[in-house]
Structure 1
Amino acid sequence: MNWSLDKIRQHQHFDKSLNFIKLISIVGSTEVILKLIGFISGILIVRMLPVSEYALYTLANTMLGTLVMFTDSGISNGVMALSGRVWKDPKKLGIVLATGLDLRKKFAFIALIIATPIIIYLLLKNNSGWLSAVLIFLSLIPAFYAALSDSLLEITPKLHQDISSLQKNQLRVGIGRLVLIVLTIFIFPWTFVLILASGIPQMYGNSKLKIINRKFVESNQNPDPAIRKEILKIVTRILPNIVFYALSGQIVIWILSVFGNSTDLASIGALGRFAALMAFFTTISGTLFLPRFSRLPEEREILLRYFLSFQLILFLAAGCIMLTVFLFPAQMLWLLGASYSSLSSELFLIMLSNCIGLIAAMSGNLIGSRGHFLNPILIISLNLGTVIFAYFIWDLTTLRGILYYSIFNQFISLTANYIFSFSVIISAKKID
């Protein structure tokens, strides 16, 4: 037995594997705290807001996420791909980051102009008064601008695996958000106040991220036209995908906000709070696996081994989540309050859709971290086909019908991402 242990310790990959396991445990334990803080914040909001007000909160947060996705338009993918090539050079890394941030500011201006009338219209249609709609829109602006630089500023520390600094900053933001929510929700249970309470701590966190970046980046660099051209090449290739995903990714909310009612909208938002279970694995993979996969050499066996290992982790995570939902639906719904206690079957359906979506999105992000993206025409065609098919099969104006559609759509997306990912990996050069 001792001989076997000694042999394992002497293996050439033992130290690297041990360090990686330690890193996962550190990241995982911190992420548990972060997601617990976020989950408590979300549950507090669900239980304290009236159903009609929570419908507006759900809609506002969905619009914020869509607006951020439009503004990114693939810029973060381009910055990650280009940064993975020069991550050891502080000056070149600074130029890539500065160019990405400059592009995002320009995209943000365009996105905000287009989105403003849509946001106001949807809020008014879901029983918001004019004053409330305007206040909600104004509260979205600080949160929107905070989200502009957040994902870009995290790329460099992730590439250098400075995970502890990132997580300390995320903890500060999460605790600050929870404190502000607790201080305001009992006195001002309004959507615009809660959105402000979420956005202000993120603005503080971004200022700290800039300080963290100075350890690895020469931050006084100017945007570079050549780098901008390279990023825009990637943006051009995946922008149609981003636009379509921005709409189809939250199509459940969009359809219910236009054709459904505020009760169903609030219900889907409340059930979506359990998506925090997904966010834990999304953050782990985005922090540990995507930057490492981006740095791998273009060799088939190495890429395939990492990709399959990542899939195994994703399936195990999804299995654990679904088992929890199957065994404890009543307990989970109790957390949301009496208004949502009858949604056990809807809970199972939405979590199944989220699990399939988690695997599909992470697989696409993994191969996308190396600069490879699905043909946008194919993606749009597939998604339009699923919408048309679902229209004739399910009633998409009801909560149950739209959840069936969501599961079907995520499955099609997963299949397409798998076919594309394996084709890219197989086309890589083979080690002799």
Structure 2
Amino acid sequence: MRALIQQMYTHPSYNRVLVWTKLISITGSSQLLIQALGLIGGILVIRLLPTQQYGLYTLANAMLGTMIVLADGGISSSVLAQGGKVWQSREKLGSVLATGFNLRKKFAVASLFIALPILLYLLRHHNAGWLTSILIIGALIPAFFTSLSGTLLTVGPSLHQTIAPLQKVQVGVSIGRLLMLLLTLFVFPWAYIAILSASLPQVIGNIRLRKLSAEYADWSQKPDPAIQKEILSIVKRILPGSIYYCLSGQITIWLISIFGSTAAVAQIGALGRLSMMLGLFSAVYTTLIVPRFARLANNKKTLLKKFIQIQLGLSGLFISIVLIVSIFPAQLLWVLGKNYAGLEHELVLSVTGSCISLFAGLLFTISTSRNWAINPLVSIPLTLAAIICGAMLINISTLAGVLKFNLFVSSIEVVIYLVYCISKINKV
């Protein structure tokens, strides 16, 4: 019996399970804390900001997400893919990251020039004064640059699976955000204060991330023209889709902001806050699953097996989440406060749409981690066709209609990326 137990402990499968259990427990517990802190902060913002201010806050955050996607343009995915080839060399990984940062700065400036005038128009459209609009835009700029830097700074630790220190930094940033919101919003319940309070702790987090990343990447390296060419070859394929995603990824916000009231914008933003816990699974996925999938050898059988396992796991998870929300919608809405009561049906639609949209986003992430970038001449016409069909079939002048529209379009995107990923694996 003792010999049998000893054999079990020394079996490779046992060690593999033990390693994965440890990684998932560390990442899962850290991300659970991070998402819980984020959810508390989000609820605090919803309850303390007046409806008008929260509507403006929702518009600004939607534009921030758009700016980040536009400024990235596929750079972070390509840097991860290039880094996955040289992750064991500190000098080569440093060169990849230096090249990525150099490109990111140029893209960021272009993103600001495009997005900020549009945000200014939308804020004025929803009756924000000139001073309020300028303050919101001013608060958004540091949030934009710190978020961009943070994504690239995690590449080295992620490839080396240095999970615990990485999670400590992220937990520290989340605690800092919540403390800043608690210290400011009770006295200054304004949208730009909420944005600025949430972004300042990321500055300290980025300093810690750079020190952590320096263990695996030599930051004294200069941008490499050959690596830049490799990154740009992927960016050229991803960027058109990223530009399109700037419009379609936040399409519910844009439709409501154009056709609806500021209160409707606030409602859709508040409902989206309850989907924040999905970030827990997204973070675990991008921290543990994507880097490991990026490092897999070009073996068709292995890639297909791992890909199917990942998608089945995600499907089961999202179905469970939607079922729970369908059973307890009123209880979940109570968290948001009385201003958002009676939106049970809309809540279920919002969470379902968020799950499907995240599914599509994770499929896109895992494909680009292998340098698989779907041709935008294929993806954009297909999703545009879905948008046109959805607009013709669904009444998008109501909150429920916009949420149904988002659900329809996201489902089409999931099908597109599933078919694309499987076809790429079959060609290996």
Alignment TM-score > 0.5, same fold = yes
Q: What are the within-5 Å matches in structure 2 for residues 2-401 of structure 1?
A: 8-401=8-401
Gap regions ≥5 residues in structure 1:
none
1:52 corresponds to which letter in structure 2? Q
Gap regions ≥5 residues in structure 2:
none
CA contact 2:36–2:277 (8 Å) conserved in 1: no
For 1:208 and 1:182, locate their aligned partners in 2 and report how far apart those are by CA, in whole Å.
Answer: 23
Shift of 1:192: 0.6
Shift of 1:3: 8.4
Shift of 1:262: 0.9
Shift of 1:230: 0.8
Deviations 1:184-203 (A, max 9, x none): 01100001111110111011
Shift of 1:377: 1.4
**Which of 318-327 and 43-52 deviates more?**
318-327
**Root mean square deviation of aligned Cα:** 1.4
1:340 corresponds to which letter in structure 2? Y
For 2:367 and 2:96, locate their aligned partners in 1 and report how far apart those are by CA, in whole Å.
Answer: 20
- In the alignment of these two chains, the number of paired residues is 428
For 1:334 and 1:130, locate their aligned partners in 2 and report how far apart those are by CA, in whole Å.
Answer: 34
2:278 corresponds to which letter in structure 1? M
Deviations 1:207-252 (A, max 9, x none): 1111001111111111111111111110001111111112101000
For 2:171 and 2:33, locate their aligned partners in 1 and report how far apart those are by CA, in whole Å.
Answer: 8
Shift of 1:10: 4.7
TM-score by length of 1: 0.97
TM-score by length of 2: 0.98
Shift of 1:365: 1.2
CA contact 1:105–1:148 (8 Å) conserved in 2: no
CA contact 1:170–1:205 (8 Å) conserved in 2: yes
CA contact 2:74–2:234 (8 Å) conserved in 1: yes
Q: Percent identity?
A: 43
The SS at the match of 1:275 is coil
1:18 corresponds to which letter in structure 2? L
For 2:354 and 2:6, locate their aligned partners in 1 and report how far apart those are by CA, in whole Å.
Answer: 43
The SS at the match of 2:217 is coil
Shift of 1:8: 4.7
Label 1:282 to 1:260 Cα distance change in 2 as closer, same or farther (>3 A): same
For 2:273 and 2:129, locate their aligned partners in 1 and report how far apart those are by CA, in whole Å.
Answer: 26
For 1:35 and 1:277, locate their aligned partners in 2 and report how far apart those are by CA, in whole Å.
Answer: 6
Shift of 1:320: 2.3
Shift of 1:341: 0.8
1:362 corresponds to which letter in structure 2? L
